[in-house]
Amino acid sequence: MTKKGFFSGFDVDPAEMARRLRDSLSPRDHAMNLLLHTLLDQQLDAIKRTLRNHEEAREAEAYRLDVLDTDPSWGGDHDGGLDSLRDERFWRMTFQASAHSMAAVGMLAPFIESLFVELFEGLKTRTEIKSDHPRIALKSNKRWKPQFYAEYGKEMRGFAMGAVQLSEAIDLLPFLPHELSKSLSALNKYRNNMFHNGFEWPEATIANFDEERSNWPETWFELAHRSGKPWLFYMTPAFCAHCVTLIEGIINGTGQYLKERGL
């Protein structure tokens, strides 16, 4: 209606109203508006609860082993079968940790990848890749896909590199967690090794991953040894928690980017 209608005495500027509404939203609200068809919080909550359950089961198994180790009947030829029972529980705990670790990376790595895919799918309608960025060399149908990156004018495949490069190409990277590149690299290399090789990896793969671990915080992975050499690698609870925090940082950082740029 005009001034002579129901809103007499008020000048209503739709653009100004839209700006005020946009400014009133939190960064997370902005990011969620980009992901309207996803139940992101519910998915993340399911991941958190599963990780927590796994950690509780792992602690319980370790406790049962500790109880056996302190049993006064331990030792000698007549320990009532405690020795074989201890071996059984030790190997159960060892490979249970591997199973939990595979489940963790199986939830976290695809979740983060799909999150970036959806974010960039929305962002490509609101912003542009810098015209002088190397990513321009990619075919148009690959430029906004984080599974690809450009290197020396050639198309390369790799999610960790692609997500970081695409974030850089639209000036999103400064808004994202500062350990993004390192975190994605560690998570995806571990995911690939576990899903392609199972719990026990080939010797060369073990050696390569063990060497790469020097590039990441010591708290991210722990390992079991056999014959004095690295054998099994596990995601630590600390790294699982770090990945959950990383997800929150990606969402909030993207929302802050949208808010500050009025996108």
Polymer length in residues for the chain: 263
- pLDDT of 254 above 70: yes
- How many other C-beta atoms lie within 10 A of the C-beta of residue 232? 18
Q: What pTM does this model have?
A: 0.82
For residues 93 and 64, give the distance between their C-alpha atoms in angstroms, rounded to a whole number: 10
Q: What is the pLDDT of residues 51-104, one digit of tens each?
A: 999 888 777 666 555 555 565 555 544 455 556 666 677 777 788 889 999 999
What is the predicted pLDDT for the residue at 66? 57
Ranked by mean pLDDT, the top range of 37-46, 68-77, 167-176 is: 167-176
User: In percent, how much of the chain has pLDDT > 70?
Assistant: 80
Lowest mean pLDDT, pick from 6-10, 48-52, 118-122, 234-238? 6-10
CB-based contacts of 77, cutoff 8 Å, min separation 6: none
More confident residue, 71 or 31: 31
Q: State how far the Cα of 263 lies from the Cα of 11, in Å rounded to an integer.
A: 25
Cβ atoms of residues 116 and 158 within 8 Å: no
Tell me which residue of 252, 260, 245 sits closest to 119, measured CA to CA: 252
Locate 10 and state its tokens. 């008020």
pLDDT of 102-114, one tens digit each?
Answer: 999 999 999 999 9
